[in-house]
Chains A and B, each alone.
Chain A
Amino acid sequence: MPQAGPILSTRHLLAIEDIDRTQIETLLGLADDYVALNREVAKKRDTLRGRTLINLFFESSTRTQSSFELAGKRLGADVMNMSVGSSSVKKGETLIDTAMTLNAMNPDLLVVRHQDSGAVSLLARKVSCAVINAGDGAHEHPTQALLDALTIRRRIGRIEGLTVAICGDILHSRVARSNIALLQKMGARVRLVAPRTLLPSGADRLGPEIHHRMETGLKDADVVMMLRLQLERMAGSFLPSTREFYKVYGLDSDKLALARPGAFVMHPGPMNRGIEIDSAVADDVERSLIQEQVEMGVAVRMAVLDALSRNLANTRKAMWV
């Protein structure tokens, strides 16, 4: 059964940078329990009964948004989805005004995705509920890193000492930044494999080893984490063509053979098949953890919602009479 008592020392979950290894391990332990729950017929708990969860997505999302929605509902919260298309942001409202408006409706948990780095923490400073970063620009996506960690830990039994190669479009990736932080906190060796045009400058200062070739980057890796090539963010010339990218960096079985025998393949989705990953690898049930990552996503988000709700006050100071 999930352990009782506080888990996180902060009101929000904005970045992996803000939490420590013990907190991560406790969250993963709690998530393990929710994995078991999610596999039962009766998946419903009342942990969040009476609480309101708002999904506020300024960028479109399928898996993250539905994963949070399910996580909230399984814990008994009332869940509302707001996406930019139908909101007053389209009418020119500023981010802070949107936040203040939502805050006045007294939600307890606010899940936010925004295209600008730092926008979620700006919003968090303006509201009285708990805020979860569901991805801000190229900064962080902490629940993705947590679900990746849970997937690895359940499959291999540990994270400490593993070599994880994160490959592809590092430059635009918040998933990469959160994973670099989390995996290193957990004692894994992280490698980044990318052309120089898709590596942010000073990436080596974050701790990982930098490789430009899959041949060296994948050698002896236990886990190969492919990233989506974010073609929609590629204004200007980062790459000559997707066919060249596939030839040099696309993960196919030949390249995967360079990793440790039996190494696992991960991808945060959505995949560009035939660009960063070959279907034969993506669909290999022995090696690919991609579907498992999606399952772990719901459990991890339940754990995060549970943990943050424990820090919520039971009564709320009214903002006005």
Chain B
Amino acid sequence: MSRIAFLNARIVDPASNTDELGAVLVQDGRIVDTGPLPFNDPAGGAYDIVDCEGRVLCPGLIDLKVSTGEPGNEHRETIASAGRAAAAGGVTTIVLQPDTDPALDDPALVEYVARARCDVRVRPMAALTHGLKGETMSEMALLADAGAVAFTDGNRTLKNTRVMRRALSYAATFDLVVAVHCEDPYLAEGGAMNEGETATRLGLPGIPAAAEAIIVERDIRLAELTGARLHIAQISTRASLDLIAAAKKRGTKITCAVSAAHLALNELDIGTYLTFRKLSPPLRSDADRQAMLEGVISGTIDAIVSSHDPQAPDTKRQPFAQSAFGGAGLETLLPVALMPFHSGDMNLAQALAKVTSDPARILRFSDGSGTLAKGAPGDLCIFDPGTARTIRREDLLSRSKNTPFEGLSFQGQVWRTYVGGRKVFEAAS
């Protein structure tokens, strides 16, 4: 029997809106007690003691949007290397995207990925359509049995509205979550960044904000028609936020997330064609970025994701329009999620909810992950909220180092990460 006592911690459990000094006891990989006082222990005796020295202890982060190159493009990122990056970022559950090669559209592949060796928990989403081609729906019931936690075509928007309707309808049959990337493929085709003045100045082809809103509204209407549980994987514009707020007001079963990059950066940060900041959806105007912060604070946006999608150097060292979309994000999720806390707009529990209990709620994890409830997995993130840190690519554990936050400074430094009571990361002292 392994028992670890985390003493002298600032315990923050967003699910129960707890923020108090105290201790947490983890036994055999699960939380057995938490509280302000050292726990009552009739058996007495043998603990491994971790003195948190007043640091914040919260549930390990759950990141709903992580891409690796495994299988198919392991030079970009493997599940194991993503796991090391996650652990360093305080993330204990990574929800993988199915846009690998081959795509995760077969129960055997989903099982393979779910069982892959990794320091953190791996929960794959499976393809919504065969081969992510947008033509015929995947075997959702079989894939869900194999461990798929939701269904998505990754960063591809399903073009055919009728196929989308049927896929949502079929998913609703089994009450499965469908995650969507909302970007009209015709409007976005060939675009490299947000359409507008900056794109014009840089001479880059643009992707209009409307490309997102059009599909957000389409998919909301289809979710209402079919009764499906829709999760909009990432939004980036005020128009999308308004549409989602209106749908939520009508009672639609819909959730959405924003990426850390879209909370911290805007299109001007592309500066002199920095391809590390070429993301999908593209970085938008600062008004849109502020809308994203507002959405997080108001609760219209349910979760913050890393949108971790590191690219190989050869695909990023290209002229901007030619370079690949995407960047590393697992190691920078926590400090960005703390921004509304540091600005005083949210308390610590509220801010952390967006990366712990809210993602767990979106995918309806029933094992207690994302919380510090008794019986929940001993997945813990212990961090110094106020410690400043400058993001440097050479510090990243991800196999590909392209982070959109290169050179920027944030507050929040992970001290240790535990998964099932096992230490998977410890910061160099």
Contacts and interface: CB of A to CB of B under 8 A. Distances in A.
A86 interface: no
Interface in B379-396: none
Given A237-B136, A241-B139, A244-B139, A196 B162 contact: no
Interface residues of A, number: 14
Contacts of A243: 139, 142
Contacts of B172: 196
A198 B137 CA distance: 14
Contacts of B135: 237
Main SS at interface, chain B: helix
B163 interface: yes
B168 to A, nearest CB: 9
Main SS at interface, chain A: loop
A196 B163 CA distance: 14
B78 interface: no
Contact of B136 (A195, A196, A240, A248): A240
Given A196-B226, A196-B227, A212-B174, A236 B139 contact: no
A239 interface: yes
Contacts of A237: 129, 135-137, 163, 166-167
A197 interface: yes
B318 interface: no
Interface string B383-427: 000000000000000000000000000000000000000000000
Nearest to A194: B173
A196 B162 CA distance: 14
Interface in B153-183: 162-163, 166-167, 169-170, 172-174
A247 B137 CA distance: 16
Interface string A115-150: 000000000000000000000000000000000000
B142 A244 contact: yes
B162 A195 contact: no
Nearest to A245: B141
Name which of B135, B166, B172, B227 has the most chain A CB atoms within 10 A of its CB: B166
A289 B226 CA distance: 35
**How extensive is the interface on chain B, given as a class?**
20 to 34
A184 to B, nearest CB: 24
A197 B130 CA distance: 17
Given A196-B227, A247-B142, A240 B170 contact: yes
Contacts of B140: 240, 244
Interface in A245-264: 247-248
Given A237-B166, A237-B167, A197 B141 contact: no
Given A237-B136, A237-B167, A196 B173 contact: yes
B98 to A, nearest CB: 14
Nearest to B165: A197
A196 B169 contact: yes
B162 A197 contact: no
B138 interface: yes
B173 A236 contact: no
B336 to A, nearest CB: 37
Nearest to B142: A244
Interface in A177-215: 195-197, 212
A243 B142 CA distance: 9
A259 B161 CA distance: 38
A247 B174 CA distance: 13
Interface string A219-242: 000000000000000001111110
A240 B137 contact: yes
Nearest to A236: B162
Nearest to A240: B139
A244 B226 CA distance: 20
Contacts of B169: 195-197
A195 B138 CA distance: 14
Contacts of A195: 169-170, 173
Contacts of A197: 166, 169-170, 173
Contacts of B163: 236-237
B228 to A, nearest CB: 9
A212 B141 contact: no
Contacts of B162: 236
Interface in B269-289: none
A239 to B, nearest CB: 7
A212 B130 CA distance: 23
A125 B172 CA distance: 42
A295 B140 CA distance: 40
Contacts of A240: 130, 136-140, 170
Contacts of A212: 173-174
A243 B139 CA distance: 9
Contacts of A247: 141-142
B141 A238 contact: no
A69 B169 CA distance: 42
A240 B129 CA distance: 8
A237 B169 CA distance: 11
Name which of A236, A238, A240, A244 has the most chain B CB atoms within 10 A of its CB: A240
B223 to A, nearest CB: 13
A241 B162 CA distance: 18
Contacts of A196: 169-170, 172-173, 226-227
Interface string B219-238: 00000001100000000000
B134 to A, nearest CB: 10
Name which of A239, A241, A244 has the most chain B CB atoms within 10 A of its CB: A244
Contacts of A236: 162-163, 166
A209 to B, nearest CB: 15
A101 to B, nearest CB: 39
B381 to A, nearest CB: 38
A197 B141 CA distance: 14
Contacts of B167: 237
A240 B167 CA distance: 9
Contact of B166 (A238, A241, A244, A248): A238
B170 A239 contact: yes
A244 B170 CA distance: 12
Nearest to B172: A196
Give 3 nearest A-B pairs by CB, closest first.
Answer: A195-B173, A240-B139, A244-B139
Given A196-B227, A240-B139, 5 more contacts: A236-B163, A236-B166, A237-B163, A241-B139, A244-B140
Interface of A: 195-197, 212, 236-241, 243-244, 247-248
28 contacts: A195-B169, A195-B173, A196-B169, A196-B170, A196-B172, A196-B173, A196-B226, A196-B227, A197-B170, A212-B173, A236-B163, A236-B166, A237-B135, A237-B136, A237-B163, A237-B166, A238-B170, A239-B137, A239-B170, A240-B130, A240-B138, A240-B170, A241-B139, A243-B139, A244-B139, A244-B140, A244-B141, A247-B142
